[in-house]
Amino acid sequence: MATKNNPAPDVTHKLVVSREFNATRDRVWKAWTDPQQIKQWLGLSEEMTVEAVIMDLKVGGKFRIQMKMSDGEFFTAAGSYLEVKKPERLVYTWDWEKDGGGTAFGDLEGYETQVTVEFQAVGERTRLTLTHERFLSAVRRDRHEEGWTIWLGRMSQFIEGKEGAAAH
């Protein structure tokens, strides 16, 4: 029996995070897809600053979100859009750059996963459901679940607080 050096990602390593926002679906979509708004809500942190957000929001377009930790280390996420259905659904690849400190798209680590974000109107509120899948391990999945939960909390704070009211 042959063995593989690089096994395919186990599709069971998937996470689903959901949060309801006191805002319309268009408002939540805009907060998720507008680079200036992403910089604002993602930057609601003492430990990190958001250096740059680049988004070409179309099928085949790329995105790059560069974050700098208080210790000077960079974490830069990048990927490509697979589906863009405003204001209902986004599907994109997700990976981390090897050296995220540059100002342009860099080499990726090569552990590409897939993110699906669905925006469901619930009266005047919106339920955002994020499915992140194709992780190589449960450990990687669990680290991302912690990160997404924190990020959705920051987004809620932005949308439902004074900072987000002006961004309509």
* Extents of the domains making up the chain: 15-165
Q: What is the pLDDT of residue 3?
A: 43
Tokens describing residue 95: 């990976």
Separation between Cα atoms, residue 16 and residue 25, nearest integer Å? 19
Q: Which CATH number fits domain 15-165: 3.40.630.30, 3.30.530.20, 3.40.430.10, 1.10.3720.10?
A: 3.30.530.20
Chain segment 52-108, per-residue pLDDT in tens: 999 999 999 999 999 999 999 999 999 999 999 999 999 999 999 998 888 899 999
Q: Quickly state the pLDDT bin for 1 (edges 50, 70, 90).
A: very low
The angle that helices 138-160 and 25-33 make with each other, rounded to 10 degrees, is 120
pTM: 0.87
Scan for tokens 């408002």, then name that residue: 27
- Mean pLDDT along residues 99-121: 94
In terms of DSSP bridges, do strands 125-133 and 113-122 run parallel, antiparallel, or are they unpaired? antiparallel
**Percent of the chain scored above 90 by pLDDT?**
79
Alpha-carbon dihedral 17, 22, 28, 34, rounded to 10 degrees? -110
